[in-house]
Amino acid sequence: MGRITEDLIRRNAEHNDCVIFSLEELSLHQQEIERLEHIDKWCRDLKILYLQNNLIGKIENVSKLKKLEYLNLALNNIEKIENLEGCEGLTKLDLTVNFIGELSSVKTLQGNIHLKELFLMGNPCADFDGYRQFVVATLQQLKWLDGKEIERSERIQASQNFPVIEQQIREQEKAYCLKRAKDKEEAQRKLKEEESKGETGRIHTGSDGHWHVDISAPLPSSEESKDYIQAPEIQERQCKGKELDDREDDLEFWNKPCLYTPESRLETLRHMEKQRRDQERLSEKKKKVKPPRMLVTEDGRALNVNEPKLDFTLKDDEKHNQIVLDLAVYRYMDTSLIDVDVQPTYVRVMVKGKPFQLVLPAEVRPDSSFAKRSQTTGHLVVCMPKVGEVIIGCQRTSKPVKSTPDSSREQTSKRSQQMEKLEVDPSKRSIPDVANIVQEKTHMPRRVRPEPKIIPSEEDPDFEDNPEVPPLI
């Protein structure tokens, strides 16, 4: 059965960053909770509390919630309205489809002066004669009852007829309480019978949905148990027969008519829990342990594996001389769940424990490889530089060619064809003459040196050449 724990409240407080002391709204519906506890201590600032569709049998431990405005306890096992006097700010209370038979318990809500809406439809008390008039006359602060607005004339009429209506309600309450007491005694008697049968024999589920005992069925001997263990076909046949019996019992349980009481709801829940446990046991038996995935063969050859079933692209980037792997991991998955391992001939990526392995078309350098997540798509991009080439800017040099005997012979034949011949003519020597690098100037005597002739400029019209005038030095 479900219980209210701190972990449960934190899991339902994600909208408040899992902080519970300042929580203003909490939803704990459909948690199979049987008892209200701890909420008034851990969540003092609650304004809205959803507890519908549980198994709560009593309203308790909510009186300290002074700021509570809306309390939803629909579809529970509540039989009486109580312990709500401390909820000073309560404006709306939903008790639809419960087991409230004591209609006079609504008087405990007279202290909740801010209560405006009340829902009691689907309860046994809603079938009482004078039910609406009694509630309207008792709770003067109410504005709406069962989704219907209370008019002024209706309130006046209910107040006038209150003494007579109150007497009718008390008589109907008494009759309901006697009937309810008989139902409880019958349920307790059945429960004790089941417990006593469970102590005297082996238990199985009967057609009525209760636990029954088969005393006549003998226990298997040691030899029979050995045969049972050694014969898987017999074991499988018995499992199938047991499944058919369980299906028949389940069908009979759901087709059996029964009263709608708190005990019947609990019995239904126990039956569903038993079915769930049996299903888990069968699934555990049928579950086969998967062998570990083979990533590398016995001879050391890596295999291509895509267990997480992710899309990917492998690109050979010749411009940057590298191999790029684009793996489409889930966009919102945490990076801590991804593990990358780059090897010279393959790359392995573990995604949430599932391996993705890919054999590379060329050998790469693991020490220079790197991985990153795309900020737009969330994909994992692994860049792996190739081995044997040098990257210079955007240019690359070709790989060194391995020498073979045939290639060396071809190279020597080409060299023999392109042999240079020696030049004998000294004028065509390519080596410079070191002795004549610096040439000496021939010095002539001053008198013998020819004097420079001055050629008159024909451009000057007034120039006259007089031979008697010696030349200027």
**Element of type H or E holding 48:** strand 48-50
Answer whether 263's CB lies under 8 Å from 183's CB. yes
Q: Are 36 and 59 in contact (CB under 8 A)?
A: yes
* Banded pLDDT at 351 (limits 50, 70, 90): very high
For 4-25, what is each residue's pLDDT tens digit? Answer: 999 999 988 888 888 888 999 9
Q: pLDDT band for position 365 (50/70/90)?
A: very high
Least confident of 165-179, 205-219, 320-334, 412-426: 205-219
Same domain, 25 and 161: yes
Picking from 200, 209, 316, 201, the residue whose alpha carbon sits closest to that of residue 253 is 209
Q: Is 79 left (phi over 0), alpha (psi -120 to 50) or beta?
A: alpha
Q: Is residue 287 part of a domain?
A: no
Q: What is the span of the domain harbouring residue 325?
A: 305-385
Which of 21, 23, 29, 20 is CA-nearest to residue 2? Answer: 29
Determine the Cα–Cα distance for residues 238 and 16; give it in Å rounded to an integer: 52
Neighbouring-strand partners of residue 340: 349
The residue to which tokens 């006549």 are assigned: 216
Domain of 37, CATH number, reads 3.80.10.10
Cα torsion through 2, 4, 5, 11, rounded to 10? 90
pLDDT at 131 over 80: yes
Q: How far apart are CA 199 and CA 208, in angstroms?
A: 19
Domain end point (choices 385, 406, 436): 385
Q: Please write the tens of the pLDDT for every residue from 27-54.
A: 999 888 989 999 999 999 999 999 999 9
pLDDT band (50, 70, 90) for residue 217: very low
The answer to the question of residue 213 being in a domain is: no
Judge if 309 and 170 occupy the same domain.
no
Residue 219 lies in a domain: no
The CA distance from 83 to 95, in Å, is: 14
> pLDDT at position 348, please?
93
Residue 319, judged by CB atoms within 10 A of its CB (0-12, 13-18, 19+), counts as exposed
**Beta strands 144-145 and 203-205, pairing class:** unpaired
Angle between helix axes 232-255 and 222-230 (nearest 10 degrees) is 100
Return the sign of the alpha-carbon dihedral for residues 36, 37, 39, 41.
Answer: positive
The confidence score (pLDDT) of residue 262 equals 81
Q: Is residue 343 predicted with pLDDT exceeding 90? A: yes
pLDDT (mean) for 77-96? 94
| CATH number of the structural domain spanning residue 375 | 2.60.40.790
pTM of the model: 0.53
Note whether residue 22 is domain-resident. yes
The average confidence (pLDDT) of the chain is 79
Of 398, 374, 375, give the one whose Cα is nearest residue 386.
398
Angle ∠(262,267,269) on CA atoms, nearest 5 = 95
Residue 336 is assigned to a structural domain of this protein: yes
Q: Report helix, strand and coil shares of the chain as percent, to nearest 5.
A: 35, 15, 50
Residue 432 lies in a domain: no
Residue 97 in domain: yes
* CA separation for the pair 247, 322 (Å, rounded): 62
How many domains are there within the chain? 2
- Distance, CA of 126 to chain centre: 45
42: nearest Cα among 9, 76, 74, 88: 9
Q: Which of 178, 194, 212 delimits the end of a domain?
A: 178
End-of-domain residue from the set 126, 144, 178: 178
- Residue 85's Cβ-side half-sphere holds a number of Cα atoms within 13 Å equal to 7
Element (H, E) at 170: helix 162-200
Instruction: Return the structure tokens found at 120.
Output: 């009691």
DSSP assignment of 239-292 = HHHHHHHHHHHHHHHHHS-----HHHHHHHHHHHHHHHHHHHHHHHHHPPPPPP
- Is residue 89 pLDDT above 80, yes or no? yes
Q: How confident is the model at residue 205 (pLDDT cuts 50, 70, 90)?
A: very low
Residue 140 has pLDDT above 50, yes or no: yes
Q: Is residue 186 part of a domain?
A: no
Question: pLDDT tens digit string along 284-306?
Answer: 766 666 677 788 888 888 999 99
Going by pLDDT thresholds of 50, 70 and 90, the confidence category of residue 209 is very low
Most confident of 96-105, 287-296, 429-438, 447-456: 96-105
Distance CA 122, CA 53 (A): 14
Query: What average pLDDT score do residues 256-283 get?
Result: 80
Amino acid at 386: K
427 exposure class (CB count in 10 Å sphere: 0-12, 13-18, 19+): exposed
Position 368: which residue type? S
**Per-residue pLDDT at 138:** 95
Beta strands in 322-449 (DSSP E): 322-327, 338-342, 346-351, 354-359, 370-373, 380-385, 391-392, 395-396
The DSSP letter of residue 33 is B
For the chain, what percent of residues have pLDDT higher than 90?
Answer: 45
**Stretch among 6-10, 27-31, 226-230, 396-400 having the lowest mean pLDDT:** 226-230
Please compute the mean of the pLDDT values over residues 270-290 and round it to a whole number. Answer: 76
Task: Tell whether 11 and 152 lie within a shared domain.
Answer: yes
pLDDT on residue 228:
40
What pLDDT sits at residue 222? Answer: 45
